Every structure is written in C-alpha cells, then in structure tokens.
Amino acid sequence: MKDIVRAAGYGLIGGLILTFLFKWIESSTGENVYTFLLNVDYIPVVGDIAFPEWVEVVFHLVVSVAVAIAFYVMYRLRPTWKKRALTICTIGSVMIGIALFPTTALSDRTPELTDGLSLLYWLVGHAIFGAVLGIFFKLEK
C-alpha cells in the first residue's frame, strides 16, 4: 500500500508540473492548452456544470494520480522495465496525449483539432509528465 501512495504522490507532482506548465504556456502564447487540460465539456452531465477552476484542477490531478498508479502497477509487474522506466513512461504519456487530443473538437473553448502548435505543446507537456514519473520510478530502490 505504501508503494501505491508513493506512486500517487509521483502523479500529483507530475500533474502539478503539467498544470503550471500549461498555465504558463497559455498565458504566454494564447494557445489554450491549459483550458484544454481542464476541459470536461465533452463528458455527459459533468460537462453541463460550470466548475470553478480549482475543481477542474482537482479533476486533472485525480487523472494524473490514476495514470501514475497504473504505470506503477505495470512497472512493478515487469521488473525489467526499471532500466527503461523513463522511456516507457514518457512514450506512454505521449500516447495518452495523442489519444486525448481529438477531444478538443468537442468544445469551442479548446484549440482547433488542426492547431499544430497546440498539439506540439500538448505532446511536449505530456512527455514531461511521463518523464517525471519515469525518473521517480527509476530512482526507487
């Protein structure tokens, strides 16, 4: 159980880094990657509610923690991954980013599906999230 709590902490740290990175990118460039990160418009029922920003951040952090725990469980099931934790977590997170990007088409507040710069920021941010997880996992005894 202690390992799961630690993995949740890694997800929280990675999720906060991603949150602040995207907030900074959006405020610096105008690309709506932070808005997209917090967007729940496309989720039935939930999307109809206007949540305060801090609640949307909590939603994002819950997902970040869940992803970190899932990666950690997979990592623990395959001890040979330790040497490749950074690569596996980074690629896995980028794949999640790729899978989520099309949901931008479901909202008018988020970047256009064809916005290549937003996609680039989105994928780099997710790579950083994955790298943070991979570094934490790799540093474990």
Computed over its alpha carbons, how large is the radius of gyration of the chain? 15
Query: What are the strands, taking DSSP E only, across 23-131?
Result: none
Contact 65, 11 (CB under 8 A): yes
Instruction: Look at the alpha carbons of 59, 64, 67, 68 in this order and tell me if their dihedral is positive or negative.
Output: negative
Confirm whether pTM is higher than 0.85: yes
Residue percentage of the chain with pLDDT more than 90: 72
Q: Each residue of 54-105: pLDDT tens digit? A: 999 999 999 999 999 999 998 888 878 778 889 999 999 999 999 999 999 8
Say how far apart CA 79 and CA 96 lie, in whole Å: 22
Say how far apart CA 113 and CA 27 lie, in whole Å: 20
* Distances 109 to 37, 50, 84, 95, 132 between C-alpha atoms, Å: 11, 13, 37, 23, 28
